[in-house]
C-alpha cells in the first residue's frame, strides 16, 4: 500500500453487485468490491498502490492527488441563454452579483 496516500477514496453500496464498492476519484477506471466497507476501502487502496507502482516503473505520469492540487476558484460554465437571463434577474432582485448567486447555489447556501 502507498505509505502517505493522499488520494480521494469513496466507498458506497452497489445494489447491482450486492456488495460495497471502493472507488478512487483520481483513478476512475478502478474499483474494488467487498462484503464490508472496510474491505472495499482496503482493496481499492491496494489496487491504486499497484497501479501507481506500475506507472512509476514504466516512467508514466502518476496522477496528482486532488487534495494537493491548487485551485484558482474560477471555472467557466456554459448554460442556455434563458437560464442565464433568469439567474441574472434573480440576482438583481436579491441585490447580489450573478457570481455570488451562482456560487451560493453551487455550495448549497443561501445568499
How many structural domains does the chain have?
2
Say whether both 99 and 75 belong to one domain.
yes
Say whether both 18 and 55 belong to one domain.
yes
Say whether both 89 and 48 belong to one domain.
no
In a domain, 16, yes or no: yes
Say whether both 53 and 80 belong to one domain.
no
Sequential pLDDT tens for the chain (111 residues): 777 789 999 999 999 999 999 999 999 999 999 999 999 999 999 999 999 999 999 999 999 999 999 999 999 999 999 999 999 999 999 999 999 999 999 998 765
Q: What range defines the domain where residue 94 resides?
A: 71-107
Angle at 51 between CA 50 and CA 56, to 5 degrees: 100
pTM over 0.75: no
In a domain, 3, yes or no: no
Cα torsion for 3, 6, 26, 1, to the nearest 10°? 20
Looking at the chain, how many residues does it have? Answer: 111
Amino acid at each position: 500500500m502507498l505509505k502517505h496516500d493522499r488520494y480521494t477514496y469513496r466507498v458506497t453500496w452497489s445494489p447491482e453487485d450486492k456488495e460495497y464498492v471502493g472507488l478512487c476519484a483520481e483513478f476512475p477506471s478502478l474499483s474494488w468490491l467487498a462484503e464490508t466497507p472496510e474491505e472495499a476501502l482496503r482493496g481499492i487502496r491496494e489496487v491504486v498502490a499497484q497501479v501507481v507502482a506500475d506507472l512509476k516503473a514504466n516512467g508514466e505520469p502518476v496522477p496528482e492527488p486532488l487534495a494537493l492540487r491548487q485551485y484558482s476558484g474560477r471555472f467557466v460554465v456554459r448554460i442556455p441563454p434563458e437560464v442565464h437571463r433568469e439567474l441574472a434577474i434573480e440576482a438583481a432582485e436579491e441585490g447580489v452579483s450573478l457570481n455570488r448567486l451562482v456560487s451560493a447555489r453551487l455550495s448549497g447556501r443561501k445568499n
